Amino acid sequence: MSPIETDTSRASTPDQIRDRYDVVVVGGGPAGATAATLLAQRGRDVLLLERDVFPRFKIGESLIPAVVGTLERLGMIEKMSASNFPKKYSVQFFSGSGKSSAPFYFSETETEEQSQTWQVLRADFDTMMFDNAVEHGVDGLQGAAVRRVLFDSAEPETEASARGVQVEMSDGSKREIRSRVVVDATGQRAMISRQLGLRTTDPRLRQASIFTHYRGAVRDEGIDEGATLILQTRDKNSWFWFIPLPDDTASVGVVGQIDYLIQGRQGDPQKIFDEELALCPGLTPRLSEAEQLFPVRVLNEFSYMTRRPAGDGWVLAGDAFGFLDPMYSTGVLLALKSGEFVGDTVADALDADDVSGGRLGSFAPRLLEGMSAFRRLVYAFYDQEFSFGRFLKKFPHHRRDIVSILVGDVFDKDFEPLFGDLATMIDLPNEPYRVPMQSSERATATV
């Protein structure tokens, strides 16, 4: 049974929406719902605008334990515990020959509360998060696509102040809504970064993904039943995720460089998916009796960053700020964390009557430091020479650091000894976005 009792969420209707708010949050995914809820908890008038009508399909189903802190602040823990989302205690890696590492159990870290997390159906999880925002006093509107952010002067927009948004309702009518701050949480759409030309990509992470769901796949037993599996294909040109979901279903997807997976291939995506699956001995036996539930879907070029986290009257959260790679299931954690940082920062900025870009972007150095640990471990995974087993055989004392990163416990932590030792074994590229800034420094500077 789905944790959602009705098939529509508790969104408002267009006639219930006012023309002016303290904050307009664009995008009702995890980042937007988090920022909106925290701002409403601080007594602010918030409008949350979502283009789609929930529940809707979304990829990105595996959570990591560090989400628990933010979910607690949002009042979501009880709802998660009452849901039918499978519990996840570990992640396990498989080599191209099908050989598995020992599972990395989250309980290997110090904190009991971070020993477990969930695998979620995003259609349900995102609806729960959106409805939770509404329960906290947010005006939430679905079927409302923001067409552009309004600035107080036309030239150049990067230096102008955001004043609100133009939104198109599902009946085609358009409205302008004013606000003191616009939070862009539009996910991969990255509305403001695109509008202002701030989007930048990492040439090392030009990946594509092909994915679907199955029913009846073989799972491990007991505590390992809800584990995420990361399985390499024979020649390490691609890797698969296997994520157990409710009702005996599982999310399965393949990730590889665009040049390899899409551009250099003949045939439709289903054929490519099947060909890669045949190269993955760790996964094929699990799917041999399983039923594929819908035609594969494709996503390209999903890794990117923004050059600026904020400007006067606007700020970015979640994938709209940047997205790394699906490897360690960090996307929803970073959406929740950045939503939390942005919610707190915007609330403080409004209290101080200072919504300058410097103030609104002051959270960015902390977020970037945390993202840097994930990014460097992603670079390691894609190195042909790297394997967790080999690294931990040489440096067993770093096991806890690795588990901390897999848990998502990366904020305000020092991983330099880990990456220093890693760099002795593989060619670990420099982190291109790791430019620490003082919180007092104008965060409109390049990130």
Interface residue list for ligand FAD (CB under 6 A): 26-32, 49-52, 58-63, 145-146, 185-189, 191, 209, 253, 299, 302, 318-319, 323, 326, 329-333, 335
Task: Say if CB 319 and CB 337 are below 8 A apart.
Answer: no
Between CA 237 and CA 398 the distance in angstroms is 27
Q: Return the structure tokens found at 135.
A: 């329960």
* Closer residue to ligand FAD (CB): 160 or 210: 210
CB of 212 to ligand FAD, least distance (A): 12
CB of 26 to ligand FAD, least distance (A): 5
CB of 184 to ligand FAD, least distance (A): 9
Query: Residues near 196 by Cβ (< 8 Å), separated by ≥ 6?
Result: 157, 158, 308, 311
The residue with tokens 């420094």 is 441
CB of 317 to ligand FAD, least distance (A): 7
Backbone φ and ψ for 159, nearest 5 degrees, come out as -100, -10
What H or E segment, with its residue span, contains residue 286? helix 284-287
* Residue of 11, 10, 16, 42 whose CA lies nearest to 351: 42
* Closer residue to ligand FAD (CB): 96 or 339: 339
Between CA 100 and CA 281 the distance in angstroms is 11
* Closer residue to ligand FAD (CB): 129 or 360: 129
* Closer residue to ligand FAD (CB): 302 or 422: 302
Q: Following DSSP, what letter does each residue of 149-215 receive, concatenated?
A: EEESSSTTGGGSPEEEEEEE-TTS-EEEEEEEEEEE--GGG-HHHHHTT-EE--GGG-EEEEEEEEE
* Closer residue to ligand FAD (CB): 56 or 99: 56
CB of 396 to ligand FAD, least distance (A): 28
* Closer residue to ligand FAD (CB): 297 or 390: 297
What H or E segment, with its residue span, contains residue 316? strand 314-316
CB of 64 to ligand FAD, least distance (A): 7
* Closer residue to ligand FAD (CB): 189 or 434: 189
Task: Say if CB 47 and CB 141 are below 8 A apart.
Answer: yes
CB of 248 to ligand FAD, least distance (A): 19
